[in-house]
Amino acid sequence: VQFHHRGYVSGEPRIEPAAGFGIDRPVELPDELDVLIVGTGPAGMIAAAQLAQFPGVNTRIVERRGGRLEIGQADGIQARSVESFNAFGFAHRIIDEAYRITHMAFWNPDPENPQNIIRISLPEDDPAHLSEWPHLIVNQARVLDYFAEFAQNSPGRITPDYGWEFLDLTVHDGPDAGERPVEVRLRRSEGTPGAGEERTVRAKYVVGCDGARSDVRRAIGRRLVGDQAMHAWGVIDVLAATDFPDIRTKAAIQSHDGGSILLIPREGGHLFRLYVDLGEVREDDGGAVRRTPVETIIERANRILHPYSVDVKSVAWHSVYEVAHRLTDKFDDVETDAEAERTPRVLIAGDACHTHSAKAGQGMNVSMQDGWNLAWKLGHVVEGRASEALLSTYSAERQVIAKNLIDFDKEWSTLMAMKPEDFDDPNYLSDWYVKTFEFPSGLMTQYTPSILTGGDEHQALASGFPVGKRFHSAGTVQASTGNPKQLGHLHRADGRWRIYVFADPAAPALAGTPTAALADWLAHDPASPLAATPVGGDDDAWFDVKVIYQQDHAEVNLNEVPAVFKPVLQPFGLTDRAKVFASGTVAGEYFDIFEERGVDRAGAIVVVRPDQYVSAVLPLTATDELAAFFAPILATSAPAAV
Amino acid sequence: VQFHHRGYVSGEPRIEPAAGFGIDRPVELPDELDVLIVGTGPAGMIAAAQLAQFPGVNTRIVERRGGRLEIGQADGIQARSVESFNAFGFAHRIIDEAYRITHMAFWNPDPENPQNIIRISLPEDDPAHLSEWPHLIVNQARVLDYFAEFAQNSPGRITPDYGWEFLDLTVHDGPDAGERPVEVRLRRSEGTPGAGEERTVRAKYVVGCDGARSDVRRAIGRRLVGDQAMHAWGVIDVLAATDFPDIRTKAAIQSHDGGSILLIPREGGHLFRLYVDLGEVREDDGGAVRRTPVETIIERANRILHPYSVDVKSVAWHSVYEVAHRLTDKFDDVETDAEAERTPRVLIAGDACHTHSAKAGQGMNVSMQDGWNLAWKLGHVVEGRASEALLSTYSAERQVIAKNLIDFDKEWSTLMAMKPEDFDDPNYLSDWYVKTFEFPSGLMTQYTPSILTGGDEHQALASGFPVGKRFHSAGTVQASTGNPKQLGHLHRADGRWRIYVFADPAAPALAGTPTAALADWLAHDPASPLAATPVGGDDDAWFDVKVIYQQDHAEVNLNEVPAVFKPVLQPFGLTDRAKVFASGTVAGEYFDIFEERGVDRAGAIVVVRPDQYVSAVLPLTATDELAAFFAPILATSAPAAV
Ligand SMILES: Cc1cc2nc3c(=O)[nH]c(=O)nc-3n(C[C@H](O)[C@H](O)[C@H](O)COP(=O)(O)OP(=O)(O)OC[C@H]3O[C@@H](n4cnc5c(N)ncnc54)[C@H](O)[C@@H]3O)c2cc1C
Ligand SMILES: Cc1cc2nc3c(=O)[nH]c(=O)nc-3n(C[C@H](O)[C@H](O)[C@H](O)COP(=O)(O)OP(=O)(O)OC[C@H]3O[C@@H](n4cnc5c(N)ncnc54)[C@H](O)[C@@H]3O)c2cc1C
């Protein structure tokens, strides 16, 4: 984070100066606004946090509940989410308080004594080290708290509007559509002041993050389609005395009579969660399974854990989680055949679009990636940085991810529900877990070619940065400080595009090298994407351009680095020297990102979207392609700086 | 951190439940209290933060200023301080916002063109990797903020009493001494409500952390003794445009005409500090140097930096820092020849005891170690855990550290003040810097034998944990989770002793091994230090006993680990499984603390004090020595649990 550059800040530097709609933001929900988010779950809160970085957008987020979530719901945080948390500034803090999964234990009936369970394997959770970030367990409520803090400290100063229930919406078109075509009916929730009162607001866009029973989804006529039957799990978050030796390790436990438990150790050192499989919910169940008493769940758990037992001292939370594999065909209000005519006005994200079991720990994670994917696009479109075409990419990109998730989760759930004797190989389940780990870690997502994702023609120039996948961070040495820096960790959720210039082998020079020529084009050519940057603000307000030289950091003289890599910041006209990187050994560790990520020594350009996915890999000389990539994305007329 | 074990906590787990004097702590300063700290600088704030972990002690901290420090003063944070910050729960947060020093640049006149400076070397800052923690730069105000937060979130709920000036004190003895023999006169500061009003309070102990002009020091009749003459530096914290290539690297710059600058890049990416040497202050100066205008300092800096220049855009802070090498002979109110008769009632810490240049960046750091050293001892004595003899060790331990610091700083200051041509070898200065780095990193402190520090008879059993030095953390694998854990990082500033049991090579067993025998003795023998632990509270309330097995973590069955390593916590009687460690490979990294720290495979006991210094290294069988070590420290009659 950079600070003090607009003058000395005494106190918490993470509180950015308010700007735009963040200045004197009214406590009351206004009648007219730009983006209305419905629901403060993970999808909604990440979207609000991201939009808080666009203070030119008047964003509000309404929630039916009277206040923050206090307990319960999901707790699995995949590596991709922790990467994302880092972009929102709270990865280290949440790691400090979370439980970290490094192993998974598999317990089966003892073949010699099937009433007893025994541990059959203890594989590592991420044996291939797909991410430098850990796999965590922490309550969903804490994740939401951190996003809330980020949103509140961001220039947009967004805080949730609690106690408002979404009722319905109408998307006006024709003459009365105006600038804010979406009319939304809201009602003050039960138990809040003015309960029952209704009002309408008008918005440019509405985002439905209102969970599996989404009213926004209903309002745009979309349906969750999939399995008929629900599956039920008894979920308990408990404090207990137990002799089960792996009580502090994530474990899949199968007993001889077909019962199964997923054990999730929780944050704080003592709490743990058990998912006890309650099987398919019968059609004539009539809510009976939902009324399963907590004692029954605990008793069932004890039967499965035999010869071990849990003596529950305190139940922090329990629930019967009923869910089916279901998916909606499109995540917005525009039918596929109407896409040429109009772009979306209402979009849905998270559980509103897809539901599945909790077994693979995906719910909160995929929902957050939905929300982030959508929010920066809304920010760009509403602020006038980008064309509305951007919004159509949201459903196109995320619906297929949800489809893959449901397929994966079905397979995993089926495997976990199988009886031990149905497997030829007792290690089949644990082997499958390890083999497929990239998927549940959230790192397998790969967007296919679109206006946001280029082709793989030049992939060989940077084989470690696959186009369409998330930018996989690697270590470099910052030239101006000699500090080791993970390049990807500097990518904050500030809504900016990243252009990484991996330099040719010549030393830094103001002219006469491919890198210098590219730098010159970027800074001065009217076709450069940077030409869209509003005048009067910071040079890097929209595009964060970084250069990585192959040389040792001690050999890089900042005075010889082209100006585009050293943007000038307002109001003092200071030079930012933080964007120049190199290689070298620091504190005994050698850093060379070219080697680590297979970047061609001739150099390359890597373009990364605001949500950290690689958009394009290009040669240093490919200025035409670079211009052509950004042309359809960027709005034709750039607005003024906020 | 452990939480939820007393029942589910929704929200920030770092806020511990209030206890003792922290429950309904009055806003107003009470008439009677236990420990009165004077001054909210680094020494005072770390002491308050530590004492907030002793809610049985009624601690208040008064400060003349009306509120928090906003800017200025020190900014260098050595590795030992970051280690300490971790114990107070904010290392990662402050690292995230600080500038990190990995290199130091040395600039001298160009021999061929002496009006110009050139870089002669760029050594690594910590080439020997003495600590896994970084060397940082961040404003003193932020350090104080984090300690304030910790104190506020701790069970004692301590917040500073701003706007009170210490005037004087009297230590009563004889019949009117009572339980609170120290009578303190305070006055409401100018500019605060009730300004000028005086009042007296009575305390058991007073700690003077009131800086170089300490009134508490004066009140106990101690004096700073040392150099007559003051040395002056012009200090500026600025935002500037500059072409000096190393502006983001810590640098020592010497010009041909004897001018010198110490350049300190600051947090946030743009701010930097220059110390411009203004030389010895003449006896007849009469405050003239103190009135040096900021323009003069900037002009002087520009002359030294030639051919480069700084064009200052904004001055965040500036000061003329005048200081001499001075030291007081004793840090408390008891003359050496009276030590047998009484223990201290008034103690002083930080700049109140020692002053020196800012060149080696030590001021804030050494002051914090003073404050921490003292505060846990006060906590133990006032709570009745320990005998008052503990308090005499404070001056004995810290005065010699201050003496060493002043000797070091004198040498460093002299070297930095020398003209380049006075050195035979142009690299002499940078070589000296690298060679002596252990000292300024704060890691060379080694306490000598006393009631708190054992001898080195058994040092060979754990050569990597030198008795008297700070416990040097190393990686292990936690058996219950398979998580890699830095053992030392788990040592929070909670006032507890640590007893690390490095197990013999046999597998964990409930009986029949030296480790099991020791565990049994610790748990059950009346001579065991653990016998002092109050009944009715957590088993590990006073002693945090951890075991490290040599085996791979997957082979350690928690059910076979002796009970003393799995303490029972209240109110639910839960078992803490977090204290059992082992070796193994996790995420591609191999952990074996026996190998890394030279621990004998036969096993060893390592005793570590609440402020992280190694007190003793003993064989597993040395129960008599262990009992003998703790006997003079522990109070004879243990109080009830708080
Ligand atoms: C009771 C429950 C238990 C769960 N248990 C587990 C579990 O054990 N494991 C697991 O992995 N996942 C679990 N999940 C799923 C997981 O929490 C979700 O996958 C994840 O929260 C999805 O995030 P989201 O933002 O899409 O929706 P949600 O987190 O569901 O958030 C939706 C939000 O919208 C609000 N809302 C709904 N309707 C309206 C309206 N009309 N107007 C205003 N606000 C509205 C809701 O109050 C809620 O805050 C559970 C979910 C629920 C609801
Ligand atoms: C103006 C100034 C500039 C400095 N500049 C540098 C620098 O550039 N580099 C560097 O390394 N070090 C610098 N130092 C020194 C560094 O800040 C100290 O070494 C460090 O702060 C020592 O910590 P301390 O807690 O012992 O005392 P201090 O930080 O000095 O704290 C003492 C506190 O006690 C309060 N106090 C004093 N008298 C009373 C009283 N009678 N009643 C109540 N409260 C009282 C003060 O207001 C202050 O808050 C500077 C110090 C000062 C005062």
Q: How confident is the model at residue A414 (pLDDT cuts 50, 70, 90)?
A: confident
CATH fold, domain A99-137+228-322, is D-Amino Acid Oxidase; Chain A, domain 2 (3.30.9)
Residue with the smallest CA separation from ligand 1 atom 3 is A73
pLDDT score at B640: 44
Span A153-175, average pLDDT = 96
Task: Report how far residue B382's alpha carbon sits from residue B205's, in angstroms, rounded to the nearest whole number.
Answer: 9
Task: Report how far residue A331's alpha carbon sits from residue B281's, in angstroms, rounded to the nearest whole number.
Answer: 74
Under the phi-then-psi rule, with left for phi > 0, alpha for psi from -120 to 50, and beta for the rest, what region is B381? alpha
DSSP label at residue B189 = P
* pLDDT greater than 70 at residue A625: yes
From B79's Cα to the closest Cα of chain A, the distance in A is: 13
Instruction: Tokens for A616, please give them.
Output: 């394009």
pLDDT in tens, A214-234: 999 999 999 999 988 888 999
Nearest CA among A208, A171, A217, A221 for reference residue A63? A208
pLDDT above 70 covers what percent of chain B?
A: 99
Angle at A140 between CA A134 and CA A141, to 5 degrees: 125
Exposed, middle or buried: residue B11 (CB in 10 Å: 0-12, 13-18, 19+)? exposed
* pLDDT greater than 70 at residue A640: no
Verify whether ligand 2 is closer than 6 Å to residue B77 (CB atom): no
What does chain B come to in residues? Answer: 642
Span A629-637, average pLDDT = 84
pLDDT in tens, B427-454: 888 888 888 888 889 999 999 999 999 9
Nearest CA among A16, A88, A19 for reference residue A56? A19
Say if the Cβ atoms of B248 and A554 lie within 8 Å: no
Residues of chain B within CATH 3.30.9.10 domain(s) are 99-135+228-323
Q: Is there a contact between B483 and B625 (Cβ–Cβ < 8 Å)?
A: no
Task: Report how far residue A577's alpha carbon sits from residue A564's, in angstroms, rounded to the nearest whole number.
Answer: 11
Chain A interface disruption, residue of B120, B270, B589, most A CBs within 10 A: B270
pLDDT score at B636: 61
Say if the Cβ atoms of B92 and A92 lie within 8 Å: yes
Residues of chain A within CATH 3.50.50.60 domain(s) are 29-73+138-226+326-433
* pLDDT greater than 60 at residue A520: yes
Angle at A591 between CA A587 and CA A593, to 5 degrees: 160
Architecture of domain B31-73+138-226+326-435: 3-Layer(bba) Sandwich (3.50)
Residues with CB under 6 A from ligand 1: A 38-44, 62-65, 72-74, 76, 140, 165-166, 209-211, 215, 235, 319, 321, 350-352, 358, 361, 363-364, 367
Span B147-171, average pLDDT = 98
Residues of chain B within CATH 3.50.50.60 domain(s) are 31-73+138-226+326-435
pLDDT in tens, A91-135: 999 999 999 999 999 999 999 999 999 999 999 988 888 899 999
* Distances, alpha carbon B625 to alpha carbons B447, B456, B602, B604, in Å: 19, 13, 18, 13
Q: How confident is the model at residue B317 (pLDDT cuts 50, 70, 90)?
A: very high
Residues of chain B within CATH 3.40.30.20 domain(s) are 459-630
What does chain A come to in residues? Answer: 642
Pick the residue from chain A with its C-alpha nearest to B571.
Answer: A313
Give the type of residue at A338: A
Chain B interface disruption, residue of A10, A492, A585, most B CBs within 10 A: A10
Q: Is there a contact between A475 and A588 (Cβ–Cβ < 8 Å)?
A: no
Exposed, middle or buried: residue B264 (CB in 10 Å: 0-12, 13-18, 19+)? buried
* Distances, alpha carbon A69 to alpha carbons A188, B4, B98, B100, in Å: 18, 17, 33, 37
Among the partner residues B1, B70, B237, nearest to A97 by beta-carbon distance: B1
Packed helices B79-87 and B363-383: angle between N→C axes, nearest 10 degrees: 30
SS3 (DSSP) at B105: strand
Q: How confident is the model at residue A637 (pLDDT cuts 50, 70, 90)?
A: very low
The residue with greater pLDDT, B270 or B414, is B270
Query: How far does CA A219 lie from the centroid of its chain?
Result: 26
* Distances, alpha carbon B131 to alpha carbons A396, B173, B470, B474, in Å: 49, 46, 11, 10
Superfamily the domain B99-135+228-323 falls into = D-Amino Acid Oxidase, subunit A, domain 2 (3.30.9.10)
pLDDT in tens, B533-590: 999 999 999 999 999 999 999 999 999 999 999 999 999 999 999 999 999 999 999 9
pLDDT score at B37: 98
Task: Report how far residue B409's alpha carbon sits from residue A229's, in angstroms, rounded to the nearest whole number.
Answer: 76
* pLDDT greater than 80 at residue A491: yes
Q: How confident is the model at residue A641 (pLDDT cuts 50, 70, 90)?
A: very low
Least confident of A375-379, B431-435, B513-517, B523-527: B431-435
* pLDDT greater than 90 at residue B186: yes
Nearest CA among A472, A486, A500, A405 for reference residue A612? A472
* pLDDT greater than 50 at residue B406: yes
pLDDT score at A636: 61
First to last CA, chain A: 20
Nearest CA among A524, A520, A529 for reference residue A615? A529
From B99's Cα to the closest Cα of chain A, the distance in A is: 9
The torsion of the CA quartet B567, B571, B572, B578, rounded to 10 degrees, works out to -30
CATH fold, domain B459-630, is Glutaredoxin (3.40.30)
Superfamily the domain A29-73+138-226+326-433 falls into = FAD/NAD(P)-binding domain (3.50.50.60)
The torsion of the CA quartet A294, A297, A303, A305, rounded to 10 degrees, works out to -100
DSSP label at residue A195 = T
Q: Is there a contact between B106 and B251 (Cβ–Cβ < 8 Å)?
A: yes
Give the type of residue at B418: M
* pLDDT greater than 90 at residue A594: yes
Q: Is there a contact between B206 and B34 (Cβ–Cβ < 8 Å)?
A: no
Span A42-54, average pLDDT = 98
Q: How confident is the model at residue A638 (pLDDT cuts 50, 70, 90)?
A: very low
* pLDDT greater than 70 at residue A211: yes
From A313's Cα to the closest Cα of chain B, the distance in A is: 6
Task: Report how far residue A268's alpha carbon sits from residue B11's, in angstroms, rounded to the nearest whole number.
Answer: 12
* pLDDT greater than 90 at residue B423: no
Span A539-546, average pLDDT = 97
Question: Which pairs from A556-560 meet CB under 8 Å and 24+ separation?
Answer: A556/A479, A556/A507, A556/A508, A556/A580, A556/A582, A557/A508, A557/B245, A558/A479, A558/A480, A558/B245, A559/B243, A559/B245, A560/A507, A560/A508, A560/A509, A560/A510
H or E segment at B325? none
pLDDT score at A268: 97
pLDDT score at A50: 98
* pLDDT greater than 90 at residue A426: no
Task: Report how far residue B562's alpha carbon sits from residue A252's, in angstroms, rounded to the nearest whole number.
Answer: 27
Span A430-442, average pLDDT = 86
Give A-chain residues touching B313 at CB under 8 angstroms.
572-574
First to last CA, chain B: 20
* pLDDT greater than 90 at residue A413: no
Task: Report how far residue A573's alpha carbon sits from residue B25's, in angstroms, rounded to the nearest whole number.
Answer: 49
Least confident of A199-208, A238-247, B222-231: B222-231
SS3 (DSSP) at A566: coil
pLDDT in tens, A329-345: 999 999 999 998 999 99
Give B-chain residues touching A102 at CB under 8 angstroms.
481-484, 586-587
* pLDDT greater than 80 at residue B420: no
* pLDDT greater than 70 at residue A208: yes
ipTM field: 0.95
